[in-house]
Amino acid sequence: MSATPRLEIITSDLLQGVGHGFFTRRGGASSGIFRGLNCGGGSSDQTSVVETNRARAAEAMGVAPDRLITVHQIHSAYAVTVGDTQPDPRPQADALVTATPGTAIAVLTADCQPVLLADRAAGVVGAAHAGWRGARDGVLEAVLDAMESLGATRADITAVIGPAISQRAYEVGPEFFEMFFDEDRDNAMFFANGEGDRYLFDLPGYGLHRLRAAGVGQAEWTWHCTYGDEDRFFSYRRSVHRGEADYGRLLSAIRA
């Protein structure tokens, strides 16, 4: 019998001492366009295979599969607090927090920012799915508020943005730039000129700016681009450019 493929998990020194991981696509049971560790239950991948992938991720996090808790992501600014069991149905939200020992919380991404947060002293952790819409609407501030409600102190919170689409791969139109510029002229710093009337948007840079402005103690991006590294990461935008029918979802998790 062949051995189970080894998972690849990216971690951050800023979260040292806290169980966490940004899982790449390596080591999963999915095949075809979902090849690897596709953890997206909303994809058209086989349900049983996705469950196998999630179980492998849960094992790597040191928890039972039912203690790896996720939400139904809707690109919102909603954050929910969870305990030791998966709510059924999954709450519609894009961030979740917990202070329950032995519980791991996770978000799914495929170009959007996965953000893992922890206040070690308070024993509170958080996870957020922050695309441009969620970040602009306040999902990062919402997860910080939810962590504070459990006893965290904002200045003691460390936040790490995992693999996400980088600026060089994130081309947007002039209306996108205008939307951000009209909201705050300082947002121009997150855009570079592209070809013609196009711009290149720095999503991780914008996320870091929002986190730091909100008062977190430390924040960093791991500097991994989902679009540019097909061997390690799923990418929604890459799948669209190729005309593929669907795409896999990466899982990022943190344990209280």
Considering its fold, how many domains does the chain have in total?
Answer: 1
Query: Would residue 187 count as lying in a domain?
Result: no
Dihedral over Cα of 239, 240, 243, 248: its sign: positive
Dihedral over Cα of 88, 89, 92, 94: its sign: positive
- Record the pTM: 0.97
Contacts for 224 with CB less than 8 Å, ≥ 6 apart: 10, 22, 162, 163, 164, 232, 233
Query: Would residue 135 count as lying in a domain?
Result: yes
For residue 245, the enclosing domain spans 17-61+77-166+202-255
Query: Would residue 124 count as lying in a domain?
Result: yes
Tokens describing residue 198:
């196009």
Query: Would residue 125 count as lying in a domain?
Result: yes
**How many other C-beta atoms are found inside a 10 Å radius of the C-beta of residue 83?**
11
Query: Would residue 195 count as lying in a domain?
Result: no
Backbone angles phi, psi at 161, to 5 degrees: -90, 125
Query: Would residue 8 count as lying in a domain?
Result: no
pLDDT tens string for the chain (256 positions)? 344 579 999 999 999 999 999 999 999 999 999 999 999 999 999 999 999 999 999 999 999 999 999 999 999 999 999 999 999 999 999 999 999 999 999 999 999 999 999 999 999 999 999 999 999 999 999 999 999 999 999 999 999 999 999 999 999 999 999 999 999 999 999 999 999 999 999 999 999 999 999 999 999 999 999 999 999 999 999 999 999 999 999 999 999 9
CA 138 to chain centre: 15
Q: What is the CATH number of the domain that holds 50?
A: 3.60.140.10
Do residues 186 and 180 make contact, with C-beta atoms less than 8 angstroms apart?
Answer: no
Query: Would residue 196 count as lying in a domain?
Result: no
Query: Would residue 11 count as lying in a domain?
Result: no
